[in-house]
Amino acid sequence: MEKWSESAWRAAAPVYDKITEHPFIKELTDGTLDRSRFMHYLRQDSLYIGEYFRVLAHIASRLRDSAFASDFIGFAADGVYVEKTMHEVYLKDEPLTADVRMSPACELYTSVLKAQTYMPVEVEAAAVLPCFWVYQRVGESIYTARDHTDNPYKAWIDTYGDPAFAESNRRAIAICDALAEQTTESVRRAMSDIFVKATRMEWLFWDSAYRKEVWPI
C-alpha cells in the first residue's frame, strides 16, 4: 500500500521541479547568486523561522505520541542551531535589525502555516513538512552535484546537504505517514492539499528573494 508521503510528493513533484529550475537555486548551486539576493533571502528566512518554530512547538503540544512530540521539539531546537550558524557566517557584519519587515511572500507563507493551527494536527504537521523535505532535497542535490569548496554559499549547502538534516527529514516524513495512517480519508486529503500548497510557498519564497521583494506601499 502506498504511503501518504509517496502520494503527497508525487502531487508536489511538478512544483519541486520548478524550484530546482529557479534562477535562485541555479545560481546558488554554481556560486554566482548575487549576494544582495542571498542576504534578502536570509533576512526574510530569519523572520520566517521565528514563526515556524512556534508552529513546530504548537504541533508538539498537540501530538498524543510522546516520541513524536519529542521529535518536534528537537526539530525546533535543531532549527535554532541552524539559524545561529547562518547568522554567524553571513550576518555577522550585516546583523538583522528591528526595522526589517516581512516581505509579502514571507507574510503569506507564515500566515498559511499559522492558519493550520486551527486544523487537525495531522494537517498542521503536513504543512511544515515541505520546509524539511524541499530543503533536504535541494541541499543534497547541490551538495552532490559538484565541488562547492569555493562556493560563497558553502555553509548553507553543507547545512542542508548534511546527512543529519536528511535524518531529521526522514523522521518528519515517518511521523506524517504514521499520523496519516491513523486518520480519516478526508483528513489525508487535507494533508496532501496543504503539503502541495506549502511546497508552492517554498517556490514563492525563493522567487521573492530573487526579486528582492518588498511591500510597494
Grid coordinates belonging to 122: 495531522
The 10s digit of each residue's pLDDT in 102-161 is 999 999 999 999 999 999 999 999 999 999 999 999 999 999 987 888 999 999 999 999
Q: What is the reported pLDDT for 93?
A: 72
In sequence order, which residues have a C-beta less than 8 Å from that of residue 43 and are 6 or more positions away? Answer: 91, 96, 100
Query: CB-hemisphere CA count at 13 Å for 205?
Result: 27
User: What's the predicted TM-score (pTM) here?
Assistant: 0.95
Q: Would you kindly state where each structural domain of the chain is located, as residue ranges?
A: 4-210
User: Which one of 3.30.70.580, 1.20.910.10, 1.10.357.10, 2.40.50.140 gives the CATH number of domain 4-210?
Assistant: 1.20.910.10
Q: What is the reported pLDDT for 217?
A: 92
CA distances in angstroms from 74 to 60, 70, 146, 165, listed in the order given: 10, 6, 31, 12
Q: What is the reported pLDDT for 69?
A: 97
Grid coordinates belonging to 86: 547562518
d(CA 125, CA 119): 10
**More reliable by pLDDT, 88 or 192:** 192
Mean pLDDT for the stretch of residues 29-33 = 96
Mean pLDDT for the stretch of residues 56-71 = 97
Categorize the per-residue pLDDT at 82 as very low, low, confident or very high, splitting at 50, 70 and 90: confident
| Type of residue at 112 | V
Say whether pLDDT at 81 is over 90. no
Q: What is the reported pLDDT for 96?
A: 66
SS3 164: helix
Residues 11 and 189 sit within 8 Å (Cβ to Cβ): no
d(CA 159, CA 141): 13
The 10s digit of each residue's pLDDT in 85-101 is 777 788 777 766 667 89
The 10s digit of each residue's pLDDT in 193-216 is 999 999 999 999 999 999 999 999
